[in-house]
Amino acid sequence: MTNRSFDAIVIGSGIAGLRAAVEIAARGGRVAILTKDGATDSSSDKAQGGMAAVLSDDDEVALHYQDTLRAGDGLCHEAAVQVLVEEGPGRALELIDWGARFDREGNGLALAREGAHSKRRIIRARGDSTGSEIVRTLVARAREEDGIALLPRMFSIDLVMSGGSCAGLLALDERSLETVTLAGPAVVLATGGAGQVYRETTNPPQATGDGIAMAYRAGAEVMDLEFVQFHPTALCLRGAPRFLLSEAMRGEGGHLVNAAGERFMERLDPAGDLASRDIVARGIVAEMRATGHACVFLDMGGIDPGEVRRRFPTIASTCARYGLDIGRDRIPVAPCAHYTMGGVKTDLWGRTSIPGLYAAGEVACTGVHGANRLASNSLLEGLVFGARAGQAVLRDRRSPPRPARPAADLAGILAIDPAAAGPAVTALREVMWGKVGIIRDGRSLEGAIRSILELERGLMPRPVSRSGLEARNLLFVGRLIAESALRRRESRGAHFREDFPEREPGRGRHSVIAPGAPAPDLPRLPVPEAF
């Protein structure tokens, strides 16, 4: 077993992780960035639509703030939203200073509008490759810092603890198949979401909930995991991946229609096709049920076909591979799991309930998204709170940890046999899609929890492997999502229960689960005053 020491260890090379690492290294810290695959293999790199930030004289920070609160359906942590919208423009301009090439119109930035935004404030790159451009910029910036070591193909197994504090990480080096212990007084989780718990998802294969699972096993609190955002429009075609069709397509004038070519969203919400994502996703499901069809359609008719292809080149080329012309054809779409609003509970600086452990980006939960994320706030979240987590690491400046051990003994880790991992994960995804999906009820949620527990009990420990470790994490996080959804006996934002269809009056309460606490039958817990 190899041992190495750093001032900070960042797990994940998406926007939040890269921005945190740059912040720490720019002030003299020695930082390791671990990534399961390559430096650009992340959900951030795949983000299409853009990044929301107030960069126009026609817009106001106060409007962005109100739009975010409205989408969050009474559950946003208002101080977190204030941080996001006030610091966001500065972080976006910083990216431009570092070389980010955002699309321009005339002398200014090209600004788009997406669902639930009151103004055109979405900046983009190469039409629909915004995430890729931001990641490219941050990777280049990170490589300018001598103190950053980028460690690819390094799978994080578990956190290392010492005296109740996080003191490092146990990892599997997939190149050598050796376990590696990385020591450091600060670990930043930036592992992204957990979309792979669902059968239908827009998330890349790396989104297996590793950070949430590791943090919870080490004793950290998690929050609001019942709020999983289902993107309304993913390509729904036999044999094709569930490729995301950006909400910006509707922002530019596209419409949702049923199999008969009829628009239906206007019947459900005054904002029609540009309603918030939870409303549009449920509207599509209702229309699919009513018509008996497996999808609805995105129609860009009425817009110049050539302009549509130029505006969305990545989407156009992907659809073309499956015989679809986005400028002329109606594109079959259906909702897919897309974003985890909940995650590891943090303060406004990325600090978790464990000293020395920080989290930023999709793996974290500051409460900024509430019950439903406003479109294009996620890339901004990664920038703003990634930088803040880096600043907190520097401010806290903890002493090097004492000799420590993994949160779970290596010999006792439930690393599933690779031969068993595939069937277990396939079964989990079916359970989650069928019982913990867009529309839920208590009986289905209870059944999902029982099914997941049976899957966990049916697996035997084997030598450590990536597929086994990912399966273990997926099962664990899937159960936490189902338990959180069973606790919340109301419908709010992305969480809709047919047996409790109404939203409880007043401001919502966050659901916090602490390790060791009895889970499904407890009432929801309010956020502490110190939150």
Produce one character per residue of 347-356: b if its CB has 16 or more CB atoms within 10 Å, e if not.
bbbbbbbbeb
Question: What distance in Å separates the CA atoms of residue 255 and residue 284, rounded to the nearest whole number?
Answer: 12
Question: What distance in Å separates the CA atoms of residue 405 and residue 384, rounded to the nearest whole number?
Answer: 32
Mark whether 277 is an active-site residue.
Answer: yes
Whether 165 contacts 356, CB under 8 Å: yes
Which DSSP letter does residue 104 get?
E
**H or E element: which one contains 149?**
strand 148-151
Q: Please give the C-alpha separations between residue 30 and each of 185, 186, 357, in angstroms, as whole numbers.
A: 11, 11, 16
Question: What distance in Å separates the CA atoms of residue 526 and residue 528, rounded to the nearest whole number?
Answer: 6
Strand-pairing partners, residue 344, are: 222, 364
Which DSSP letter does residue 198 get?
S
- Which among 108, 169, 75 has a CA at the least distance from the CA of 508? 75
At residue 298, φ and ψ (nearest 5 deg) are: -100, 120
At residue 103, φ and ψ (nearest 5 deg) are: -65, 145
Q: Please give the C-alpha separations between residue 495 and each of 315, 349, 456, in angstroms, as whole numbers.
A: 29, 27, 25
The pairing of beta strand 31-34 with beta strand 148-151: parallel
What order do you get walking across the sheet with 148-151 strand by strand?
Answer: 148-151, 31-34, 8-11, 187-189, 357-359
Question: What distance in Å separates the CA atoms of residue 330 and residue 321, rounded to the nearest whole number?
Answer: 15
Question: What distance in Å separates the CA atoms of residue 364 and residue 285, rounded to the nearest whole number?
Answer: 29
Q: Please give the C-alpha separations between residue 52 and each of 249, 336, 377, in angstroms, as whole numbers.
A: 16, 22, 6
Question: What distance in Å separates the CA atoms of residue 108 and residue 225, rounded to the nearest whole number?
Answer: 39
Token pair for 480: 């936490």
Catalytic residue (one of 121, 217, 277, 487): 277
**H or E element: which one contains 109?**
strand 108-109
Whether 157 contacts 170, CB under 8 Å: yes
Whether 341 contacts 365, CB under 8 Å: yes
Chain centre distance of CA 55: 24
In 3-state terms the chain splits into helix, strand, coil percentages (rounded to 5) of 35, 20, 45
DSSP 330-386: PEEEEEEEEEE--EEE--TTSB-SSTTEEE-GGGEE-SSSTTSPPTT-HHHHHHHHH
Among all residues, which ones are annotated catalytic?
277
